[in-house]
Chain A
Amino acid sequence: MRFMVMVKADKSTEAGVLPSEKLLTEMGKYNESLVKAGILLAAEGLQPSAKGARVRFSGSRRTVVDGPFAEAKELIAGFWILQVKSKEEAIEWVKRCPNPLEGDSEIEIRQIFEASDFGEAFTPELQQAEARMRAEVAAGTKG
């Protein structure tokens, strides 16, 4: 299972204030622990919303509004994507994260859709396809 783990923005991140060296070092160690555990799929920081925009849709019309989005309470400052076996495991990893901001902060954990979530019955065709793919993987000649 994959989870997107998002750090909510605050006034500091929106002002473009960089984290302290202490926090950066701690965060670096934490990211390293994720890499060592083989579960880190992605880790990115986002620029403040002042450098961003929002696009609204109405029929064929598009309206673009430049940031910042001061009134938005749910802005994201950065995220990880983790590969784990369960939501509880994702939570456990997030609990081990150093507080990502200097004050109070909140991290949201969301499960990512997998192709398998759109579920199909295991038909005889799928079973045959599986057997065939197994042979082809062994032969190494297919995608």
Chain B
Amino acid sequence: MTASATHRAIDAVWRIESAKIIAGVARMVRDVGVAEELAQDALVAALEHWPATGIPDNPGAWLMATAKRRAIDRLRHRKLLERKHEELGHEMELAQEMAVTDFDTAIDDDIGDDLLRLIFTACHPVLSAEARVALTLRLLGGLTTDEIARAFLVPEPTIAQRIVRAKRTLAEARVPYVVPRGDELAPRLGSVLEVLYLVFNEGYAATGGGDWMRPSLCDDALRLGRVLAELAPDEPEVHGLVALMEIHASRTGARAGPGGEPILLLEQNRARWNHLQIQRGLAALARSEALGGALGPYALQAAIAACHARAHTPEETDWPRIAALYDALAALAPSPVVELNRAVALAMAFGPAVGLELVDSLLEEPSLARYHLLPSVRGDFLFRLGRLGEARAEFERAASLTRNERERALLQTRAGRCGDVDAG
């Protein structure tokens, strides 16, 4: 193998193993920053030795053993260790740990717990959302600082600083290095899911063309979501989020036309949907539902997406079911935008008059005041009810609110189709 081929292979091994190495060492040193450094030391050692010796049969075990040895060395040098009684107990744990040199047979459960601890710590709410995102992508996603910077359209030093500060904040806040339990679990899990969904949406909104680091964020979020689903299989909202992401991602190939123009869901070419991915999404949703209890917000959104995904053609869409799901979502996580979506579903299921009633109740909503989709939707209902003069006014208002040229043109066309009818 050439030197560069070996390096690329080592890179590949690193992508597969790095999160586990960091997680395993973090359990020992209880500091993610130090853990990352020690893991990097192991990588450096690999880069030095493996070109000559070849990549070992079990590269993960080699890296883990190397990193943990460095961890022991560093801990022994820490004077604190001698002074605190409870840490003496900790040192005995470590000695026991190193006595178990057969890392091949390290129980999967241990690694799973370590990874969970790492995920929860990187997503700790003491950190800002953007700090959590950067730290998670770095420690768990295996992305380099440069890759994260390119993905979020931010200079690399900014991300580097963000990560450094995040590690310092965690250390200074003395965040305990544990998997949250009991009452703590739900909000902490919510924080993790929020990070994954943020990463996913950043990637989902990027249409590509330029740097494909951005849309690949969807892959990163999905992979981490799937990993989490295996680590926390009894958490319905984890499966719900994975389902939501798989189903949304399944439409990537159909969402934009050749010129980059966005294509509405109901107009997408469904042959371009990734059906294997849809099946995975439906399977994840089924896992969520099988856990029993009422569906949470992610699972509800996934169930709505699933209704669309199951329809082979737009005409087959189960609109009454979608409307019912929006009812549940509105009860759980109400927002004007959810209400607007609910109105659209109600209109599709039960006719435009029903939708109009709901939309009319939203007209005073301050958050929707400049939102072009409100008059656009209202215009559509009025058009379908034959109230063409009012419909035209709404389409024109919507056109004036949107900053997107294509959308404006589309709305003006719709206004034009209302004919020259006087309002009323």
Contacts and interface: CB of A to CB of B under 8 A. Distances in A.
Any A–B CB pair closer than 8 Å: yes
Interface of A: 35-39, 41-42, 81, 83-86, 88-89, 91-93, 115-116, 119-123, 125-126, 128-130, 132-134, 136-143
B223 A39 contact: yes
Nearest to B108: A36
Contacts of B263: 143
A121 B209 contact: yes
A61 to B, nearest CB: 26
A132 B204 CA distance: 12
A143 B12 contact: no
B227 A38 contact: yes
A38 B12 contact: no
A128 B226 CA distance: 32
Contacts of B280: 41
Given A35-B230, A83-B223, A138 B209 contact: no
Interface in B55-113: 108
A37 B208 contact: no
B12 A88 contact: yes
B127 interface: no
Given A36-B227, A88-B8, A129 B256 contact: yes
Given A133-B207, A142-B264, 13 more contacts: A36-B108, A37-B16, A41-B277, A81-B276, A84-B12, A89-B12, A91-B12, A92-B9, A122-B210, A126-B208, A132-B404, A134-B205, A140-B341
Contacts of A93: 16
A26 B338 CA distance: 47
B282 interface: no
Contacts of A123: 209, 259-260
B413 interface: no
A37 B12 CA distance: 13
Say whether chain B's binding surface is mostly helix, strand, loop, or mixed: helix
B166 interface: no
A125 B259 contact: yes
B239 interface: no
A92 B262 contact: no
A75 B252 CA distance: 32
17 contacts: A37-B16, A38-B223, A39-B226, A84-B12, A86-B8, A88-B11, A88-B12, A120-B258, A125-B261, A129-B207, A129-B406, A134-B205, A139-B373, A141-B341, A141-B373, A142-B264, A143-B251
Interface residues of B, number: 58
Contacts of A42: 276
Interface in B8-28: 8-9, 11-13, 15-16
Given A35-B226, A86-B11, A139-B337, A130 B265 contact: no
A60 B411 CA distance: 45
A36 B17 CA distance: 12
A83 B221 CA distance: 12
A38 B225 contact: yes
Contacts of B210: 122, 126
B98 to A, nearest CB: 25
Given A86-B8, A88-B12, A143-B255, A116 B215 contact: yes
B219 A83 contact: yes
A143 B265 contact: yes
Contacts of A122: 208-210
B201 interface: yes
Contacts of B251: 143
B224 A128 contact: no
Contacts of A133: 204-205, 207, 255, 262
Contacts of B418: none
Contacts of A130: 205-207, 260
Contacts of A139: 337, 371, 373
A133 B265 CA distance: 12
Nearest to B335: A140
Interface string B266-295: 101000100011001000000000000000
A95 B187 CA distance: 40
A68 to B, nearest CB: 28
A140 B338 contact: yes
